[in-house]
Amino acid sequence: MGANQRLRRRTVWLLIIVLAVGFGAVIARLGYLQIIKGEDLQRRAVEQQLSDTTISAKRGTIYDCNGKILAQSASVWRVVLAPAYFQNDDQRHFVASRLAEILSLDEQSVYEDCQEHSYYVSVKRKIESEEKEKILELQNEIEEKYDISNVISLFDDYKRYYPYSTLASSVIGFTGSDDQGLSGIEYQYDEYLTGTPGRIIAAKNAGQTDMPYGFNQNIEAVDGNSIVLTIDETIQSIVEKYMAQGIIDNAVYNRGVCIIMDVNTGEVLAMASVNGFDLNDPFEISAEAKEKINKIDTDYLVKEEIIEDPSKLSQEELNKELATAKSVAESAALAKQWRNKAISDTYYPGSVFKMVTLSMALEEHLVNSESRFNCSGSYQVYESTIHCHNTAGHGTQTYQEALMNSCNPAFIQIGQLIGEEKFWEYYQAFGFADKTGIDLPGESEDQFFDWEGVEGAMGPTDLAVASFGQNFSITPIQMITACAAVCNGGSLVQPHVVKQITDKDGNVVKTISTETKRQVISKSVSDEMRGILEQNAVEGSGKNGYVAGYRIGGKTGTTEKLIDENGDGVKDYIASYCGFAPANDPKVACLVFFDTPTSGSYYGSQVSAPVFASIMGEVLPYLEISAQYTEDELQNVNITAGSYTGMSVEDAERQANLDGFNVTVKGDGNTVLAQNPVTGSSLPMEGTIVLYTDEESSKEKVTVPTFIGYTVYDVNIIASYSDLNISIAGSASSYDATAISQSIAEGTEVSPGTVITVTFSAGSIND
Amino acid sequence: MSSYERSSRRESYGRERRSAPRRASDSYDLERRSSSRQVERRRMRFSLLSIGRGLDVPFILLILVLLAVGIIMMFSASYPTAYYQIGDSYYYLKRQLLFAVIGLVIMIVVSYVDYHYYHRFALFILGLSYFALVLVLVLPAQNGVHRWVGIGSFGIQASEISKFAIILFLAHWGSRYYDKMDTFKYGILPAAAVFASTSLLLLLEPHYSCIVIVFILTVVMMFVSGIKLKWLIIGGVVVLGLVLLLWVTGMLTYAMQRLEGWGQALTTTRDDGELWDTTWQTRNSLYAIGSGGVFGLGLGQSRQKYLYLPEPQNDFIFAIVCEELGLIGAVVILIIFALLVWRGIVISLRARDRFGKLLGIGLVTHIGLQVILNILVITDWLPNTGISLPFFSYGGSSLMMLLFEMGIVLSISRSSVMEKS
C-alpha cells in the first residue's frame, strides 16, 4: 500500500470517527438533555430563577359538614433582610438593634444575619399586624437616615387558626412552622391544602436585583383547596361534652373514644379522642400530664430502673438523668395527647363482638329457633375453664337470649358451630383483617391469631375466646364499621371523614362518595340482628344505652387489659358500647369506649352505656329523627313551660293544666306575679308549675331530698310531695332502674318547682 | 487529477523534477530539499476563486456563516453580563466584531501565502511555543492558572500557539520523512518527545484539557502520517494499563475528586458547600440546555444568561445557544461545523503534496475536536477545564488565531486539485 493511499484511507477513517462518533455522541447527549431530561432541567432552572421570590399560598380552610370553619389561615408577615444593600457597619448595627427590639430577637444573631452578603435572609416568620406596622415605620426611618431602601422587606405569610381549639383535635390535626401538615387531616390532605406558591419571574437575576430587560411574568399564588369534613361540629361538641363528663365521672385513666358514623354512607359524623388538646397550641402539655412530669424525682428514676443507686451518682449526673427522664416523659405526653385513639388504638372488642359472631352463625344457618345453648356458669374448653360473668349460670337459652344475657358459654358453643375456618373468613369479610383505609394518618392494624405461622389459624382455645371477642385486637373504627355492616343490611362501607374538596372559590374539586366494599351478610340476617340488638337495648344487657322515644339497638362490652397500665395494682378494663338508631331503619352507629375507668365500676353497661344514651339523646333529635314515645315514656318527656305570669290565678291554672302541668299556687293574691320554672324551661309532662301571687310566698324555699336508690316511680312521688320537678336522664325505662345521681345535692334549699335532673341506671347488669 | 493521486510519491516528484535521480535513496533527499527550499511553488500566483488557483468557496462560506451565527449568539449570551459587570451591553460585541474583521483580513492575506513557506518556520514556531509555555509560568497567575501571555490589553493563551506549533511541526516532519514514518525513530520518537515536553509544561500551568487536545492531535497526526498501527495498539495498551494502575491504586478516584465535581452537577445540593459552588457553572449550563427543549426559548430569550451561568460568552456559550435555539438550532449549527470539517478534509486530501494534506487535516481536525470536547464539557460528560468553542466563544486572540489557521486551509485549497464552488 502506497503512503498516499494509506494517508487517504486513514484520513477517511479519521473523518468517520470525528463525524460519526464525535458529533454523534454530542448530538445524542444534547438530545438526551433537551428532550428526555428537558422538563426536569427546565423545572429546576425555573425553580432557581424564582426560588427566592416566592409568594406564599394561603392554606385551604377546613370546614365541618355544615360549612362551619374548623381551621383557617390568617394573614401574617415574614420579615426578610437584604443585607447586601448595607453600606457600612453603622447601618448594620442600627438595623440589628431596632429589629431585635421590635421582633424580640437576639440582637447578636440579627447582626450576624446583617453581615451576610445576600439579598435574602429570612429574619422572622409570622409576625402580626402590630409588629408589621413597626417594621414599616423602621423602613421609612432607614430610608430617611441612610438613604437606602430594600434592606428590609415584608412578605405575605399565613398563620393557622383553629376557632374551636380543642374540638376534634386528633382528627383535624395541626401544622408545623412551615405551614406543613403534621397530623390528622392537615397531614393527610396536605397536598390539597397547601396550594401552589406564587412567583415573580424574571424580576430577579442571579444577584437578586431587578433585571433591566423585559420578561416580567407574575405567577399568582394559587391558594390551597378547602376540605369539607363529614364531621358535624354540633354532633362533635355533643360527643365531646358527654365524653369529658364520662371521663370525670368514671375517673378514666387513659382517655376515651367516641365515633359516630352514618351506617349507610360511612361518613364519620363525629370522632373524638377525649381529652384532646388545643390545636392552637399543640405543644402545650395538659396540666395533668405536666403535674406528673414535675413529680419526676430520684425515686421515680429508681422505680423505673433508670438508675440503680442514686448515692453512687454525683448531683450533676443525677440532674442530667432527671432532665432526660423529664424530656422523655414530655415527648410521651405529647404523643399521647396527639394520638387518635379511634384509629390508632387496638383493643379486645369483648362482648360487643358477639353481634358479629351471631351474624356469622345466622348467615351460615347454624342456629335457628330450635337451637338451645346451656350455661352452667362456666364452660370447659380442652384444659381451660371459661367462666361466665353470671357464675350461677344462665340456664338454657335461645340464641336471642344468649346475646341479651351476653352469655359467654353460649357464644363459645355458637363459635364451635361456626368453626375456625368460617370464623376467619367472616373476620376478614367484616374488614377486621385489613385497615379500614379511613382517610386519616396513623391507622393501626388488627392482631389476630396465627397458629404455627399460618395467619388466621387458631389454637384449641382460641376460637372459644374469639367468639366473645377476646384475645384478638382491633381498632375502634373497625368495630363501628363492622357494626354498621351488621345493621345497615349487610354492606361493609368505607369509613371516611372528608366529604368534599373545593377550591378557594367553592367549586368542587373532588367529592368523596359512598364506597361499598362488599356484602358481608344478607339483608334478612341484618334485619334479624337489628331486632335482637334492639331488644337487647330495651331489656337485655344493653338497656342502659336506651334512649327514650327512640328505637335503639346496641351491645355492651367489657374487656380486661393484659397490662396494668396505671400501675394501681387493679386490673385495667376497657368499657365499651356500640349501638345504632333508629333500630328499624338505622341512620347512625355510635361507639363509646373508655380506656381504664378507675372509679370502681368498669362494665360497659355501667360506664359507657349511659354516656352512649346521653349522646344519642341529643344527637338523634339534632339529626331530626323524630321520637316515638311509648305511653310510659310520655310521662318522662320534657315539655316547655309557657308564660303564666300576669294572668289571673284562674286563667293561669287553666292554661297550665292545658299545657300538661300540675299547678301549685302560693300566696293569696289574684294575679300571678311569678312562676317557677320560668317560661321556656323544660320539665316533664305532668310536672308541677308553682305560681306565686304575692311577694311573701316567692321567698318560700323547699329542701331537696335524696332520690338516689329510688325507682322512677318513687322519685316522681317524692318530687311531687316536695313541690319539685324531675327531669329524667339515663335508662329509666326498665322496671329495675334506680337513680344513681341527682343534679342538685340533697339538703340544698331551692324554690319550689325547681327542676332536678335525676340519672337512672338499670342495676345489676353486667357483661 | 486521479492519475496524479494514484501515482506514487516518488513518481510525482520525478515528474516534477525531471532531472532528479531515480534512485530511492535520492528521492528522500529530494523531498527534504523540496520542503526546505521551497522550489517553484513559492512563485505560484493565485487568483481569487479560479479552479486550480482560487479559494474554496464552500469552505469560506461555511466559515462566514459560523462566524456570523457565532457573533450573534455571543452578543445574545453576553449582553446581560456586559450590562451588569461592565455597564455596556455591547462591550463584548464591539470587541468581537473588531477582532472578527481583523481576523478575516488576516485570513484572506494568509490564504495568499504559499503554505510551503511554513516548512521553514515549523521548528521556529515550535521553539516559540516552548518559549511561550515557559514564559507564562514566570508571569503572574490569573485566576490561579498560568495561561496568558500578553502585551497591554492584548493577550493570547500560550496553548493556542502550542497546538498550532505541534500540528505544524508534525505535518512538517511527517511530510519530510514520510517514508520513514513506519519506524520508531522517525514515526514515534519525535512526536512523543514533543508531546511529552509540551504536556509537561501544560501540566505546570495547569491546563489539563489542552493536554487532552494536544494528545489527541498528536495521535491523529501520527496516525495519518502513516506510523505502524501496532504502535497505536501498544500506545493504547500502555494508556489503558496506566489508567488501570491508577484505578487499582486509588489514584484515579482521587483524580476524579480533584476534577471538581465532574458528573455531580445535578446531584449536588446547596448543603455540599464548596462542591455546590464548583459545580455551579456546569449545573447552570445543564439547566440552560434542558430549558431549551426541542425548539428553544427563542433568540435573546435565555434566562440562564442573567448571571446564573457565569461567563456565558466564553466556554459555555453553546449552553445559551441550546437554551435559545433548542435542539434544532444546536443540531443545525453542529451540522454546519461537521460540513466545515468534511470540506476541510476534502480540501486537505486533494492538496498537491503531503505537507498540505497533513497540515490541513491537523488544522481541521483541531476545530472538530474543539467543538466536540467543548460540548462534552458543557453537558458534563467531561470535566469543566476550559475548552472554547471555535467561532462562538468570546476572545480576540483565539478568534484571530482561528481565522489565521483557516487562512492556511484556504491557502491549501488554492493549490488543491478540486472543484471549488
Cis ω for the linkage preceding B206 (within 30 of 0): yes
Which chain B residue lies closest to A48 (C-alpha atoms)? B308
Listed residue (A157, A192, A156, A194) closest to A175, CA to CA: A194
Q: How close does chain B come to A23, measured CA to CA in Å?
A: 6
The more confident residue out of A1 and A186 is A186
A573 and A638 together in one domain? no
pLDDT digits (tens, 9 = 90+) for A531-547: 999 988 888 888 888 88
ipTM of the complex: 0.84
Question: Tell me, what's the pLDDT at B104?
Answer: 95
A561 and A656 together in one domain? no
Q: Is B83 on the interface with A (CB under 8 A)?
A: yes
Residue A649 located in a structural domain: yes
A602 and A640 together in one domain? no
A549 and A651 together in one domain? no
A584 and A659 together in one domain? no
Question: Tell me, what's the pLDDT at A633?
Answer: 65
Question: Tell me, what's the pLDDT at B36?
Answer: 45
Residue B45 located in a structural domain: no
Q: How close does chain B come to A27, measured CA to CA in Å?
A: 7
Whether residue B303 and residue A202 make contact (CB cut-off 8 A), yes or no, is yes
| A26 contacts on B by Cβ (under 8 Å) | 334, 371-372, 375-376, 379
The more confident residue out of B274 and A232 is A232
Pairing of strands A226-229, A373-375: unpaired
Q: Is B179 on the interface with A (CB under 8 A)?
A: yes
* Total domains in the fold of chain A: 3
Contact A593, A564 (CB under 8 A): no
Q: Is B39 on the interface with A (CB under 8 A)?
A: no
What does the DSSP assignment read for B361-394?
A: HHHHHHHHHHHHHHHHHHTTSS-----PPTTTS-
A605 and A648 together in one domain? no
Residue A517 located in a structural domain: yes
Whether residue B327 and residue A7 make contact (CB cut-off 8 A), yes or no, is no
Whether residue A4 and residue B306 make contact (CB cut-off 8 A), yes or no, is no
A584 and A640 together in one domain? no
A688 and A744 together in one domain? yes
State the cell numbers at B401. 488565531
Residue B44 located in a structural domain: no
A609 and A684 together in one domain? no
Distances (CA, A) of B310 to A472, B147, B277, B288, B313: 66, 20, 11, 12, 9
Residue A57 located in a structural domain: yes
Question: Tell me, what's the pLDDT at A568?
Answer: 74
Pairing of strands A62-63, A226-229: parallel
pLDDT digits (tens, 9 = 90+) for A365-375: 999 888 899 88
Q: How close does chain A come to B307, measured CA to CA in Å?
A: 5
Distance CA A295, CA A678 (A): 49
pLDDT digits (tens, 9 = 90+) for A311-353: 777 888 888 888 888 888 888 888 888 999 999 989 999 899 9
What is the pLDDT averaged over residues A464-478? 91
Residue B42 located in a structural domain: no
Strand, helix or coil at B210?
helix
Q: What percent of chain A lies above the pLDDT cut of 70?
A: 92
Of the three residues A214, A229, A244, the one that is the final residue of a domain is A229
> Ramachandran region of residue A145, left (φ > 0), alpha (ψ -120 to 50) or beta?
alpha
Question: Tell me, what's the pLDDT at A455?
Answer: 80
Q: Which helix (H) or strand (E) holds A432?
A: none
Q: Which pLDDT band, with edges at 50, 70 and 90, does A758 fall under?
A: confident
* Total domains in the fold of chain B: 1
pLDDT digits (tens, 9 = 90+) for A382-411: 778 888 888 888 888 999 889 888 888 999
Instruction: Provide the residue range defining the domain that includes A373.
Output: 350-622
Question: Tell me, what's the pLDDT at A383?
Answer: 77
Cis ω for the linkage preceding A275 (within 30 of 0): yes
Distances (CA, A) of A723 to A665, A682, A691, A726: 11, 16, 11, 10
A381 and A508 together in one domain? yes
pLDDT in tens, chain B (421 residues): 344 444 344 334 434 444 434 444 444 444 444 444 444 444 444 444 444 567 888 999 999 999 999 999 999 999 888 887 777 889 999 999 999 999 999 999 999 888 888 988 999 999 999 999 998 888 877 766 777 877 656 778 888 899 999 999 999 999 888 888 888 888 889 999 999 999 889 888 878 788 889 999 999 999 998 888 888 888 889 888 887 887 777 666 666 655 656 777 777 776 666 777 777 888 889 999 998 889 988 888 887 887 788 888 888 999 999 999 999 999 999 999 999 999 999 999 988 888 999 999 999 999 999 999 999 989 988 887 778 999 999 988 889 999 999 999 999 988 877 766 6
Residue A316 located in a structural domain: no
Instruction: Say which CATH number the domain at A490 has.
Output: 3.40.710.10
What is the pLDDT averaged over residues A155-183? 86
Of the three residues A197, A229, A261, the one that is the final residue of a domain is A229
Backbone phi, psi, residue A663, to 5°:
-125, 135
Residue A286 located in a structural domain: no
A685 and A569 together in one domain? no
Which chain A residue lies closest to B318 (C-alpha atoms)? A30
* B:270-329 residues touching chain A, CB 8 A cutoff: 284, 286-294, 301, 303-304, 306-308, 322, 326-327
Q: Which pLDDT band, with edges at 50, 70 and 90, does A756 fall under?
A: confident
| A7 contacts on B by Cβ (under 8 Å) | 224-226, 354, 357-358
Which chain A residue lies closest to B182 (C-alpha atoms)? A3
Whether residue B331 and residue A30 make contact (CB cut-off 8 A), yes or no, is yes
Residues whose CB is less than 8 angstroms from the CB of residue B358 and which lie 6 or more positions away in sequence, other chains included: A7, B170, B171, B174, B175, B221, B224, B225, B348
Of the three residues A229, A260, A288, the one that is the final residue of a domain is A229
| A44 contacts on B by Cβ (under 8 Å) | 266, 287, 290
Contact A579, A533 (CB under 8 A): yes
Q: Which pLDDT band, with edges at 50, 70 and 90, does A29 fall under?
A: very high
List beta partners, residue A159.
A74
List beta partners, residue B46.
none
Whether residue A7 and residue B224 make contact (CB cut-off 8 A), yes or no, is yes
Contact A264, A493 (CB under 8 A): yes
State the cell numbers at A195. 396550594
Rounded-to-10 torsion of CA B315, B321, B327, B330? -70
Residue B111 located in a structural domain: yes
pLDDT digits (tens, 9 = 90+) for A558-609: 888 877 777 777 888 899 999 998 888 899 999 999 998 888 888 888 888 8
Q: How close does chain A come to B25, measured CA to CA in Å?
A: 16
Residue A318 located in a structural domain: no
Residue B295 located in a structural domain: yes
Question: Tell me, what's the pLDDT at A199?
Answer: 66
Q: How close does chain A come to B308, measured CA to CA in Å?
A: 5
Q: What percent of chain A lies above the pLDDT cut of 90?
A: 24
A612 and A652 together in one domain? no
Instruction: Provide the residue range defining the domain that includes B286.
Output: 55-415
What is the pLDDT averaged over residues A627-654? 75
**Maximum alpha-carbon separation in chain B:** 78
Residue A337 located in a structural domain: no
Q: How close does chain A come to B103, measured CA to CA in Å?
A: 26
Cis ω for the linkage preceding A677 (within 30 of 0): yes
Whether residue B290 and residue A6 make contact (CB cut-off 8 A), yes or no, is no
Distance CA B63, CA B321 (A): 18
Contact B160, B398 (CB under 8 A): yes
Residues whose CB is less than 8 angstroms from the CB of residue A20 and which lie 6 or more positions away in sequence, other chains included: none
Residue A334 located in a structural domain: no
Q: Which pLDDT band, with edges at 50, 70 and 90, does A139 fall under?
A: confident
Whether residue A11 and residue B361 make contact (CB cut-off 8 A), yes or no, is yes
Q: Which residue has the cell 498501527?
A: B229
Distance CA B405, CA B396 (A): 14
Distance CA A389, CA A375 (A): 11
| B178 contacts on A by Cβ (under 8 Å) | 3
Q: Which pLDDT band, with edges at 50, 70 and 90, does A205 fall under?
A: low
Mutate to test the interface with A, among B283, B306, B339 (most CBs of A within 10 A): B306
- Which of A4, A8, A33 is closest, CB to CB, to B379? A33
pLDDT digits (tens, 9 = 90+) for B245-287: 877 776 666 666 556 567 777 777 766 667 777 778 888 899 9
Whether residue B294 and residue A35 make contact (CB cut-off 8 A), yes or no, is yes
